[in-house]
Amino acid sequence: MKAIALENPGRNYRLELTEISKPRPGVDEILIKVAAAGINRADILQAQGAYPPPSGAPQTLGLEVSGHVAETGANAGNYQVGDAVCALLSGGGYAEYAIAPVECVLPLPSSLDLIDAAALPEALFTAWTNIAETGRLKPGETLLVHGGASGIGVAAIQMFAVLGHTVFATAGSDEKCRLCETLGARRAINYRKEDFVAVARELTQGKGVDVILDMVGGDYVQRNMTAAALWGRIVNIAYQNGAKVALDLNPMLRKRLTLAATTLRARTATEKGMIRDALSEKIWPLVAAGRVRPVVDRRFDLSAAQAAHQHMASGDHAGKILLIPD
C-alpha cells in the first residue's frame, strides 16, 4: 500500500510517498481503508525528532483517520466490513490503510461527511479529556481556550459552548477571532492586539476564568495564573512557546490554583476507550445533529504531505488540515 515515509528526521526532515506492506488487525483491532487523515502538531514534532512515538506504535505519522472498515479482528465488537468510521490512532494514519484499536473507533452518523470526519478524533478526545476530566469544568463555569482557531481549539469552543458554558478564546488575527466567535466563543481575543489577561478579567467582572486550556506555554504559564479565577484549573497540552520558564508560584497559593499537563498518545487503549465512551454519550449526538462540526482548512493529496506540514508550520491555517490518499 502507499504510505508516507519519514526521511532524515530532524529540522530538515522529508516526507516521501513509498510502498509498504498493508497491516493486519489484531484481535481487538480494526483495519480502516483511509478516506482522509488529519494532520496534528504532534506529527511535525515527531518528524523533527522531538516527539518519538510510544513503544509499539507505528513509525508512520498520523494520529487520526476516517474511512471504511476493511477488516476486523475477532474481538472487534459490532463493526462490519464497509462501516463508515473515524478513529484515534497511535500512529500510521498517513497511509492507504491504518490500524485502530476498537476502543478508539467511532461510527459515523449519516449526516457527517466521510472525509471531513478525519478532523474530529484527535481534537474531540483531547478537548474532552483535558477540559471535562482533568480541568473538571462544571456547570456555570467559564473556559478560556488558547489557540482557538487550531484544530483542538475549534472543537473545544463548539463542544463546551453547546454544553452551555461561557467560552473565551485567543487567536492571532481578527479573521481567526471571527471564526472562534462564529463557532460559539462569547469573545475571542486577538493576542497580537490585546492583553488576554486584562480582557479575560474584564469579561468575568474581575473574577477570572475557571478553566484554561493552554497549548502555548512560555510566558503564558505565568499569565494564565493571573487570568485564572479562585480555585481555577490550568491545563497545558503543549508548549509551543517553550517549556522552560521562570515562575512566581505565589498566585497558585493565593488562588488555590491547579496547574496540570497531560498527553494523550501514550495512554492505553483502555484509557482512550473511556474517553470514547464519554464522547459517545455527551458529544457524538451533537455531532450527528450538526451542532459540533468539523472545521477543515485545506485538503492535500497524500503525496503532498510535505506541503501540508509546511502549511501547518506557517500558522496560517484555521481548523484542521487533511491528507487524502491519492
Q: H-helix or E-strand containing 231?
A: strand 228-236
Alpha carbons 187 and 205: distance in angstroms, whole number: 14
3-state secondary structure of 48: coil
pLDDT at 326: 78
Identify whether the C-beta of residue 22 lies closer than 8 Å to the C-beta of residue 311: no
Domains of the chain: 2-120+265-324 (3.90.180.10), 123-261 (3.40.50.720)
Identify whether the C-beta of residue 170 lies closer than 8 Å to the C-beta of residue 197: no
Residue 67 CA, distance from chain mean position: 18
Alpha carbons 168 and 148: distance in angstroms, whole number: 9
Q: H-helix or E-strand containing 273?
A: helix 269-282
Question: Closest by alpha carbon to 103, among 280, 287, 237?
Answer: 280
**pLDDT by 10s per residue, the chain, length 326:** 999 999 999 999 999 999 999 999 999 999 999 999 999 999 999 999 999 999 989 999 999 999 999 999 999 889 999 999 999 999 999 999 999 999 999 999 999 999 999 999 999 999 999 999 999 999 999 999 999 999 999 999 999 999 999 999 999 999 999 999 999 999 999 999 999 999 999 999 999 999 999 999 999 999 999 999 999 999 999 999 999 999 999 999 999 999 999 999 999 999 999 999 999 999 999 999 999 999 999 999 999 999 999 999 999 999 999 999 97
Residue 192 has phi, psi (to 5 degrees) of -80, -20
Q: Which residues contact 192 (CB under 8 A, 6 or more apart)?
A: 172, 173
pLDDT at 77: 85
pLDDT at 20: 97
Residue 289 has phi, psi (to 5 degrees) of -85, -5
Alpha carbons 195 and 118: distance in angstroms, whole number: 34
